[in-house]
Amino acid sequence: MNLVDSSGRLEYFTDGKNAKFFAPVIENSSELIVSVINLYEVYKKVSSEKDDESAIGAIALMQQPKVVEIT
């Protein structure tokens, strides 16, 4: 299983300079888990830089793999 932190997700969503590094892991959803805190962090960042609609779209993509609560 793989877990990508919020900064990796944001790189991928914004096609940043490291997006290609994160893409294979993020796109392999059968081996990916997403933490609840990542959902929150990505939502807050995308909604503050773009809008709520874009943030909701990012969260919808992030919820396709297994979402877990990490404490």
Which 3 state secondary structure label does DSSP give 66? strand
What pLDDT, on a 0 to 100 scale, did the predictor assign at position 34?
96
**What domain range is 45 assigned to?**
2-68
Q: Is the pLDDT of residue 71 over 80?
A: no
Q: How many domains does the chain have?
A: 1
CATH number at residue 7: 3.40.50.1010
User: How many whole angstroms separate alpha carbon 58 and alpha carbon 52?
Assistant: 10
**The predicted structure's pLDDT at residue 70:** 82
Which of 20, 27, 26 lies closest to 4 in space, CA to CA?
A: 26
Determine the pLDDT at residue 41: 96
Percent of all residues in the chain with a pLDDT value above 90, rounded to a whole number: 97
pTM of the model: 0.88
Confidence of residue 5 (pLDDT cuts 50, 70, 90): very high
Long-range CB pairs of 26-31 (<8 Å, 24+ gap) are: 28/2, 29/64, 29/65, 30/65, 31/1, 31/2
- The mean predicted confidence, pLDDT, of the chain is 94
